[in-house]
Amino acid sequence: DAGVIQSPRHEVTEMGQEVTLRCKPISGHNSLFWYRQTMMRGLELLIYFNNNVPIDDSGMPEDRFSAKMPNASFSTLKIQPSEPRDSAVYFCASSFRGRGPSYEQYFGPGTRLTVT
C-alpha cells in the first residue's frame, strides 16, 4: 500500500491567497484526521471524519478554515484567506475503526505551508 498521500508537499503563498491541501487516505480506512504542527502549539487536531462525515471540527481555528471529504478516498483542507500565522506543517492521518480496538493512525508525510 502507498500509505497516506498528501499534496503538495510544500506550499508557499502570499497572505490573502486561497490554499488547498489534499489527502488520499489508505484504501479501506474509514476515519480521517487533519492535524497542524507548529513549534509553539505542537500537534493540534483540526478536524476528523468517520465514514466521510465530519465528527468533530472543534479544533478548526476559525471560519477561514474548511474541510471536506466528498468520498472515502479524498479529503481537502482549505484556508481562505490565508495569513502568515497559518504557516505550519499540516498532516493528514487515516485509520480503520471496526468493532475491535485499534485506533492506530497512519500519518502522511505532511504539507509544509509558508504564508508570506
Partner 1 sequence: AQSVTQLDSQVPVFEEAPVELRCNYSSSVSVYLFWYVQYPNQGLQLLLKYLSGSTLVESINGFEAEFNKSQTSFHLRKPSVHISDTAEYFCAVSGRGNTGKLIFGQGTTLQVKP
Residues near partner 1 (CB under 8 A) are 4, 31, 33, 42-43, 45, 48, 50, 55-56, 91, 93, 95, 97, 101-110
The CA distances from residue 14 to 6, 28, 89, in Å, are: 21, 36, 16
Closest distance to partner 1 from the beta carbon of 105 (Å)? 6
86 secondary structure, DSSP code: G
Beta bridge partners of 7: 22
Nearer residue to partner 1 within complex by CB, 65 or 90 = 90
Closest distance to partner 1 from the beta carbon of 86 (Å)? 19
Closest distance to partner 1 from the beta carbon of 109 (Å)? 5
Contact yes or no for 102/95 (Cβ under 8 A): yes
73 secondary structure, DSSP code: T
Nearer residue to partner 1 within complex by CB, 5 or 81 = 5
Closest distance to partner 1 from the beta carbon of 16 (Å)? 28
Nearer residue to partner 1 within complex by CB, 82 or 110 = 110
Cα dihedral value 37, 40, 44, 46, nearest 10? -80
